[in-house]
Structure 1
Amino acid sequence: MLHDPDPLLCQALAADLSAASFTALALKEAWGAPAGDAISRGLRGPAERALGDRDDDLAVLARLFVLGRAQPAASLSRALPSVGADGLVALGLATQHEAAVTPVAALRPQSYADAMGAGEWWIASDLNEAALGGPLPEEHVLGVGRASLTLTALQLPTPAVRGLDVGAGCGIQALRARRNVDNIIATDISERALWFTRLNALINGIDSIETRSGSLFEPVVGETFDRVVSNPPFVITPRSAEVPAYEYRDGGMVGDDLVAAFVAGVGEHLAPGGVAQLLGNWETRDGIDGLDRVREWVQSSAVPLDAWIVERESVEPLAYAELWIRDGGTLPGTARFAALIDAWLDDFASRKVSAVGFGYLLLRRPSSGSPTLTRYEKLHQSLSGDSLGAHLAKALETHDRLSALDTEGLAESFFVVAPDVTEARHHMPGEEDPTVIELRQGGGFGRSVNVDSGLAALVGACDGDLPAGVLIDAIAQLLDVDAAALRADLLPRVRELATMGFLDLNSP
C-alpha cells in the first residue's frame, strides 16, 4: 500500500540533491553525451565505465537513481546526509538489506526552459527495463520521455487560473502547467502514478496540484478549466490476452478510440476561451486519411471547438508495432517478439489500417460565437527542438486579431517580417529571374513556403511603415498589373503568412 510522501522528507531530499549538485549538466559531464544517450536506449554499461571507481556523492547518486544499481548504505548516508538510507526507504524510493540500499524507483534531474526562464526539476518514476533486467510490469509509471518533453514544449506560456492534467503519469505535465496556471487537478487511473505526481510536486516545492483517481474526465464531472493538458495512454494496442496492457500507454480501448473519446468529451470541460492540448495517434482506415478522421471527431463534439491539429509523422503498421513492442522491453529475435508482431498486425488488419499518424492536438472553446480556427496540417519536417508553446500562443493571438478584420481592415493593417524568416531564390543556370522563391522559418514549425514574385516583393517591403494595401498597390504599379486583382490574390495569403508566423501584425 502506498503512503503519502512525507513533505519534510521530500524537502530534505531536495536539499541533499542540490548540495550534491545532482543536475543534468553534472551527469552529462560525469559520463559524457554518448553514454547519456545510451542510457535512454537502455544501455548502462558506457555510463558505468565512465564513472569507473568514483565514490563521490554525484557518482553514488547517479548509480542509485539513474542506473538503478544498489549502493552501500554508508555512501548514501554521506551523499544524502539529511535523508539517509532510512529516509529513502520511508519515502518508498529504496529498500535496504543489511549494508546495501537498492532503488525501487528512478529519480532524475530534468532541465526545462520557457518564457519565464530556465530551471530544473527532479522527477521520480519507476525503474526502466535496463534497471529491472527485463520487460516492464504492466503497472509501470513512465519517467520523462520524448513524448513528455514534446508536450511540455507545446504548452502555452500564457497565464490561466484552473488547469487539468488528464493521465498525469509521473506528473511532468502538471509541473510544467503549474508555471502558468494557478491551480492544477491531475488525474490518472493509476494510484501509483498519482503517488509519483504528489511526490514530485513535494520534492520540487510546487504547491496547488491536486490529484484525483479516474479515467478521462470521470474525476471532474461538471467542472470546467481554462487549460487542459494530456499525454494520454494513446498507444494503439491489440485487445488480446497475450499482449501486455501497460497502464502508462494503453487506455484499454480499441484502436484510436481513446483519443476520439478525449476530443468528444473535452469541450464540456473547457471554460469559454479555454484551451486543451494533447498528443495522440490516429489511424488511416480503409482509405480514409487519419487527419480526416480527426476532423470528424472534432466536428462531432457537442461543444463547437476551434481546432489546430498537426500530424508530425506517419508510419506503417509493422514499424508501429515494432516500436511499441521494443518500448515494453521485448527484444527482436525472440518467439515472444514474433508473436506480439502477429497480434499487432492482426489487430490493424481487422480495421483495414494502412498507417498510423502521430501528432499534436490543440482544441479551444470559443469565448463567444462560432469556431473560427480550423487547421489540419501534415508537418513531417524536423524541428529545431525549441519551445513551440510561445509560437502557438502568438499564432492564436494573431489568428484572433485577423479574424476580426474584413478584407479592407486587413489592407489597412501594418506588418513586419518576423526576425527568423529568410528568403532563398533558386535560378536555372543563365537565367536572370528565379524559378523558385522560398521563404523559410527559423523558429516555430520550421515551415518553408514557395511564393511568387508579387508576394515576395510584399513580404520584403513589410517593415511596419506602410499598410499592406498601400504596398500592394505600389507593387501592382511596378509589375504593371491590376491593383484590385493583386489585392484579391495577395491579401488572403498575407493572412495565412501572418498566422503561420512569417509576418508580425503591427500597430501603425
Structure 2
Amino acid sequence: MSSPRPTDRPPAPPTVLEPEIADLRADLGDADYTVDGLARALGSVASAALHREQPLPALRVTARPGAGSAALLCRLFPLGQAVPVPDLDAALPRTGARGLLRLGLVERDDEGAGEADGGTAGHDLVRATCDLRPYGTEQDMWWVVSDRSEIATGGPLSTEHVLGVGGASSTLAGWTPRPRVERALDLGTGCGVQVLHLAGHTTYRTASDLSERALAFARVTLAMNGVEADLRAGSLLEPVSGEQFDLIVSNPPFVITPRRDDVPRYEYRDGGRAGDALVADLVADLAAQLRPGGIAQLLANWELVEGEDWSGHVHGWLRGTGLDAWVVQREVQDVAEYAETWARDGGHRAGTPGFDALYAAWLDDFAARGVDRVGFGVVTLQRPGSGREPWRHLEHVPTPVAGPMGPVVLAGLRARTWLAEHPDDELLDTPWQVAADVTEERVGRPGADDPQVIQLRQGGGLRRTVRLDTLAAGLVGACDGELTARQLCSGLAVLTEQPSAQVVSAVLPVLRELVADGLLH
C-alpha cells in the first residue's frame, strides 16, 4: 500500500518567555483578536466558510488594504500566510515581529534575506510556525496555541500534530459537568483546551499527555491565559498513579485505527491499541483515580459486530468497576463512513491513491474482526460516595441537544444519585414541580372529548419527549411544588375511583423517569 506521507516534522513548539507572553497578551487584546473581534473583521460569510475549512473568502477579506489588526493576525496564524514585518509591528506594538521570533511563534519567510543577529532588519516577511487563535464561551475568552492546520500547511498533517480546538474537544467541553471542586485532571490534554475550562471551577489542576510536544503547546496556551496547572508526561493514568481527583476529563485517543505500519499513526487520535480496547481499559481503571463522589467525563468510540447491541457492549466495559454510568450514544457510522472520516482527518483528499489505500486499510481491519458499525458517544462516570449498588443509564440520542450540556449532566447525575439513595417512599413523600422548560402537548381527533396522545416536551438539555397516560398526565399537571406525589396519587385515586395503591403502582415508574431526566424538580 502506498499512502501520502504526512508532512515533515513540524517546527519546534513555541517557548514560554514571561515578559514577551505578557506583552503579547496585551497586544492581542488591543488588536481585538478575540472571538467576536475576529468575527467582525472577517464578516459572516468568510467566518462561516472558514468554520467549514474553506479559507478562500477569509483570504480575500484579510488581503484588503486597511482590513485591520485582527484580520492581519488571522492571515498570519489560522490562514498560514506570510505577512510584512512592518504591518505586524504596527498590529502588535509591544511584541512586534522580534518578540514573536523570540517566542518561536513565527519564523522568517524563505523570501527574506538571512541575517545572523536574530533581528528582523532586512526581512520583509514572517510566517507563523504554529496556530494561535481566539477561543471562548459566553463567559470567557482565551487564546489557544497549537500546530498549524492543514489549511495553513497545505498538505497532510505530521503524525506528531498537536490539534487545536476541534469538534471533539468542543463536545467534551460542552458536556462536562462543572461543580466547584478541589482537584481536577485533564487526561490527554493536547494543547490544553480543557484546562482552560477547568480553571474557572477547580483549585488544583493536573494535565497529562504522552506527547512532550503536546505538553509544550499546553504550557504556552496556559501561559497565554494566566492559568496554572501541573503538566506531566506519560501514558493515560500512569503519571497520576496513586492519586485521586474530584473531576477527570478526557478526550482520549479513541479513534479505531488499523494496526498496520503503512497507516499513519497520529498521536492526537491513535492510542496504539486495537479496536476500542484503549477506552475500555481506561473506563476499567478510572475508579481507582476518583475520590468518593468524583466524576469522570470522556468521549469514546465503540465498535460493534453485526447484530450486537451497543448498550450491551458498553455495559461490558462497566462490569466490575463499581461506577455509576450515564452513557449517551450520539452517532453511529457504518464502517465505510468511519473509514472516510478518519482517512480525511489527517489531510488526505478523497479520490487520490493515498486516500483510497487508507480507506481500504480501515475496511480490511474492520472486516477481519467482523465489525460493521462504530458508535460515538459521551461517557459520564461517578464513583458512589457510599457502598450502594451503582446505577447505569445508557441511551441513544442522535437528535440535536441544547448546549451547553454540562449543567444538564450535573443535574442528571444528582437526580439519579438521589433516586439510587432514597427508597420509593421518600420519592412519593416529596413535593415535585414541573421544570420551567417543559411543555405539554395534547393531540386528538377534532371534536373528540379526550386527547389520543398526551406528551411532555423538554425545551432544554436532551430535549426529551415523554408520552403519558391519563394518570401520569394528571399527576404531572398537579406538580406545583406544594403537595407531595403521594398526596397527588390519593387525589387521583378518588377522581378515578381506583385504589390508591393501584394509582401509585401505575405512576411510580413514570415519576422516577421524569425526576431522573429533569422534567420534574
Q: Compute the displacement of 1:480 (Å).
A: 2.6
- Equivalent of 2:125 in 93, 100, 109: 100
> Who is 1:165 aligned against?
186
Task: Decide whether the 8 Å contact of 1:31 with 1:50 is kept in 2.
Answer: yes
- Distance in structure 1 (CA, Å) of the matches to 2:518 and 2:222: 35
Counterpart position of 2:291: 271
Whether contact under 8 Å (2:14, 2:105) holds in the other structure is no
Q: Contact (CA 8 Å) 1:290, 1:356: kept in 2 or not?
A: no
1:6 aligns with 2:17: yes
Contact 2:13–2:130 (CA under 8 A) maintained in structure 1:
no
Mapped partners of 1:175, 1:166: distance in 2: 13
Residue 41 of structure 1 corresponds to which residue in structure 2? 52
Distance between the aligned counterparts of 1:51 and 1:290, measured in 2?
Answer: 47
Query: Structure 1 residue 51 and structure 2 residue 76: aligned?
Result: no
TM-score when normalising by structure 2:
0.92
SS state of the match for residue 66, structure 1?
A: coil
TM-score (norm 1): 0.95
| Percent identity between the two aligned chains | 44
Aligned to 2:397: 379
Listed as ranges, the matches of 1:100-139 within 5 Å are: 100-113=125-138, 118-139=139-160
Query: Using the alignment, how far apart are the partners of 1:314 and 1:81 within structure 2?
Result: 50
After TM superposition, give the deviation of residue 52 of structure 1 in Å. 4.0
Which moved further from structure 2: 439-448 or 26-35?
A: 26-35
| 1:393 aligned onto 2:410 | yes
Q: By how many angstroms is 1:18 displaced? A: 0.3
Q: Distance in 1 between matches of 2:314 and 2:97?
A: 50
Q: 2:386 aligns with which of 330, 346, 368?
A: 368
Aligned-pair CA distance for 1:370: 2.7
| Change in 2 beyond 3 A, CA 1:453/1:422 | same
- Counterpart of 1:357 in structure 2 is 375
Query: 3-state DSSP class of the match of 2:226?
Result: coil
Matched residue of 1:13: which SS? helix
Match for residue 459 of structure 2 among 437, 442, 445: 442
| Contact residue 24 and residue 92 of structure 2 kept, 8 A | yes
More divergent stretch after superposition (39-48 vs 321-330): 39-48
Residue 323 of structure 1 pairs with residue 334 of structure 2? no
Structure 1 letter corresponding to 2:295: V
1:82 and 2:103 correspond: no
The match for 2:282 among 258, 262, 285 is: 262
- Residue of structure 2 equivalent to 1:32: 43
Q: Give RMSD over aligned pairs.
A: 1.5
Letter in 1 for 2:299: L
Mapped pair 1:346 → 2:367:
no
**Alignment partner of 2:266 out of 246, 249, 267:** 246
1:478 aligns with 2:495: yes
Tell me if the contact between 2:295 and 2:380 (Cα under 8 Å) persists in the aligned partners: yes
8 Å Cα contact 1:11-1:205 kept in structure 2: no
The amino acid of 1:54's aligned partner reads P
Letter in 2 for 1:310: V
TM-superposed deviation, 1:306: 0.9
* Deviation of 1:2 (Å): 5.3
**What's 2:427 paired with?**
410
Matched, 1:233 2:241: no
User: Residue 105 of structure 2 aligns to which amino acid in structure 1?
Assistant: L
Relative distance call for 1:461 and 1:104 in structure 2 (3 A) is same
Find the aligned partners of 1:54 and 1:204 in 2 and give their Cα distance: 31
Residue 287 of structure 1 deviates from its aligned partner by 2.9
Cα distance in 2 between the residues matched to 1:373 and 1:33: 46
In structure 1, what is the equivalent of residue 221 of structure 2?
A: 200
Instruction: Give the whole-Å Cα distance in 2 for the aligned partners of 1:429 and 1:240.
Output: 64
In structure 2, distance between residues paired with 1:199 and 1:9: 12
The C-alpha deviation readout for 1:100-133, integer Å capped at 9, x for no partner, is 11001111111214xxxx0211111111111101
1:416-465 residue CA offsets vs partner (Å, 9 max, x unmatched): 00000011112134433222212111111111111111111111110011
Q: Distance in 2 between matches of 1:146 and 1:3?
A: 24
Query: Over residues 198-255 of structure 1, what are the superposed CA-to-partner deviations in whole Å (9 max), with x where a residue is unaligned?
Result: 1111101112x11111111111111111111000111111111221111111111111
Q: CA deviation at 1:286?
A: 4.5
Say whether the 8 Å CA contact 1:420–1:442 is kept in structure 2: yes
**Secondary structure, in 3 states, of the residue corresponding to 1:503?**
coil
Name the residue aligned to 1:459: 476
The answer (yes or no) to whether the contact 1:438–1:450 under 8 Å persists in 2 is yes
Q: Tell me, in whole angstroms, the C-alpha distance in 2 between the residues paired with 1:264 and 1:164.
A: 17
2:285 & 2:422 partners in 1: Cα distance?
32
Distance in 2 of aligned mates of 1:53 and 1:219: 49
Aligned to 1:62: 74
Q: Which moved more, 1:439-448 or 1:393-402?
A: 393-402
Is the deviation greater in 395-404 or in 374-383?
A: 395-404
Task: Give 1:345 shift.
Answer: 0.5
Moved more, 275-284 or 333-342: 333-342
The number of equivalent residue pairs is: 496
**1:34–1:432 distance in 2 versus 1, CA, 3 Å:** farther
CA distance in 2 between partners of 1:336 and 1:224 (Å) = 44
State the AA in 2 paired with 1:184: R
The offset of 1:289, in angstroms, is: 2.2
Question: Which AA in structure 2 matches 1:192?
Answer: R
Displacement of 1:407: 2.0
Deviations 1:35-94, CA, capped at 9 Å, x for gaps? 223223322101122334134212211111221111111111111111111211222211
Q: 1:288 aligns with which of 304, 308, 323?
A: 308
The residue matched to 1:63 in structure 2 has which SS? helix
Q: What is the one-letter code of the residue matched to 2:475?
A: L
Name which structure has the greater RCO, CA cutoff 8 Å, separation 6+: 2
State the match for 2:516 in structure 1.
Answer: 499
Conserved? CA contact 1:24–1:111, under 8 Å: yes
Q: Distance in 2 between matches of 1:226 and 1:407?
A: 29
Structure 1 residues 45-54 or 248-257, which shifts more?
45-54
The one-letter code matched in structure 1 to 2:365 is: D
Partner Cα separation in structure 2 for residue 310 and residue 275 of structure 1: 16
SS of aligned partner of 1:472:
helix
* 1:330 to partner: Cα distance: 0.9
SS at match of 2:231: strand
CA distance in 2, matches of 1:136, 1:414: 57
| Kept after mapping to 1: 8 A contact 2:15/2:104 | no
Unaligned runs of 5+ in 1: none
- Distance in 1 (alpha carbons) for counterparts of 2:300 and 2:382: 16
Cα distance between partner residues in 1 of 2:280 and 2:45: 39
| Alpha-carbon offset, residue 164 of structure 1 | 0.9
